[in-house]
Amino acid sequence: MLKRIKIEHRDFILNIADNSISKKNNEIKLTETECKILTLLLLAPKQVFSKEEILNYAWDQELNNNTSVVPQAISILRKKLYRDGIDAIDTVKGKGYKATSNTKPCFSTKKKKLGFTMGVIATSFLAYHTYTFEPDLQPKINQSLIKVSDNIYQTSNSKPVVINPETLDKNIRYFINIQDKVLSLSACKMTNQECSSIYNKIFFIDDSNENIDINKLISNIEFKFNKPIGEPIFYNSSKDGNYKVSSSINLRALNNSAYSGHVFINYDVTKLNNNQYKAELSAYVKESGYIGSFGYSVNLNVETEKVKNQPITHYIGKISRDEKYSGIKSGRQQFGTIKDQNQLYAFPLLKNGKHSTYFNHIYPMGNGVNYIYMENTNIAYLTFCYK
């Protein structure tokens, strides 16, 4: 199973460690397969998973099961959960299954005896119709990029780190962002005072990684993603039209030496005016637990605002997925199958977090290079921006 031990959803908690669900004081035991089905759906609550995807994730590959076992297992699981008023799985006709909306029910879904008084009915009716649904927008945080020294930059919301100056190269700019579950380490190789090559590595962290040797991670930096051929674009320049934003990100897990992965990211951007953009995002991913590769494509609306009076002036982009905008087909594309779910980190998180609208912090670093912090996933990385 994945490293995450508990997942809170609606009015219940999935306990992965012991294959159970808890709701208030009640505990429901699950089979290992039932727990895997819920884990997959709840980790990406807005993703629709096909029967084949669920089969590959939740069943032993050696059993050679048919996809017909998936609806049978989900039917049994639903009946088990309904007895305790838990509604966790929605059927998406013709596509598969997804987690039920995370909006908590206004009143219990348990069956009640006949003979309700009109007062109770009226109260329930009023509660239902006055319930306010929160928009699917992640609240914007107050964040900045701090220049710690001549060649070290750190996000203001990052955990503190102690760096040995002897591990640093004066011809490299380092960018550090450490959160509870992920560490982002990026670097720019400087040639003639311009960034000629970038390095990005995302490290997944679990609870056992209390002391992280950032100096060892810095000493292992290698540059392989050079500046693309093309005219550099400076963020929010007066030039309109189309341009590209590209990045290359290595993936590792600090407590799982057998795991490795890589992500290539490309944005095709159309600038509409000084603060309005359309973008087509495509990501191509390979990681240890997947035979072959998988990708993610989505159309985006971007609305930016300039943030002044900060250590480094930057832009905040309000990012929203746009299903109406014509272009690439949105969603996850698979070019293989799951081999080992214990070696999957990017696959369950590929829907860009819980929110369809969120914020990115964009820090222009000159020469068509941007440092981007994504609020919804807590990761940061360097990109090249060019015509």
5-16 confidence digits (pLDDT tens): 688 888 888 988
Picking from 52, 22, 18, the residue whose alpha carbon sits closest to that of residue 32 is 18
For residue 218, pLDDT over 60 is answered with: yes
Q: Give 213 or 236, the one with higher predicted confidence.
A: 213
* β-pair partners for 245: 267, 385
Picking from 308, 249, 304, 253, the residue whose alpha carbon sits closest to that of residue 274 is 304
For residue 357, pLDDT over 80 is answered with: yes
Instruction: For residue 323, name the pLDDT band (cuts at 50, 70, 90).
Output: low
Per-residue pLDDT, averaged over 346-371, amounts to 82
Picking from 377, 330, 380, 384, the residue whose alpha carbon sits closest to that of residue 352 is 377
How many CA atoms does the CB half-sphere of 326 hold within 13 Å? 0
CA distance 311 to 271: 27
Instruction: For residue 267, name the pLDDT band (cuts at 50, 70, 90).
Output: very high
Query: What pLDDT is recorded for position 65?
Result: 74
The single-letter DSSP state of residue 137 is: B
For residue 133, pLDDT over 80 is answered with: no
* CATH 1.10.10.10 intervals, the chain: 6-130
How many CB atoms within 10 Å of residue 281? 21
For CA atoms 42, 46, 51, 54, give the dihedral sign: negative
Name which of 93-107, 178-192, 244-258 the model is least confident about: 93-107
How many CB atoms within 10 Å of residue 108? 11
Domain 6-130: give its CATH code.
Answer: 1.10.10.10
For residue 24, pLDDT over 90 is answered with: no
Query: What pLDDT is recorded for position 355?
Result: 66
CB 204 within 8 A of CB 182: yes
134-138, 204-208, 294-298 — most confident range: 294-298
Please enumerate in sequence order all residues whose Cβ is within 8 A of that of 278, keeping only pairs 6 or more positions apart, or say none.
Answer: 269, 270, 272, 299, 300, 301, 302, 322, 325
CB 252 within 8 A of CB 260: yes
For CA atoms 212, 215, 220, 224, give the dihedral sign: positive
Please enumerate in sequence order all residues whose Cβ is within 8 A of that of 107, keeping only pairs 6 or more positions apart, or say none.
Answer: 124, 127, 128
Picking from 132, 239, 249, the residue whose alpha carbon sits closest to that of residue 186 is 249
Q: How many residues appear in the chain? A: 387
Query: What pLDDT is recorded for position 353?
Result: 52
| Centroid of chain to Cα 47 | 12
Per-residue pLDDT, averaged over 336-356, amounts to 76
**What's the first-to-final CA gap in the chain, in angstroms?**
43
CB 42 within 8 A of CB 54: no
Both structure tokens of 113: 């005896």
What rounded mean pLDDT belongs to the chain? Answer: 82
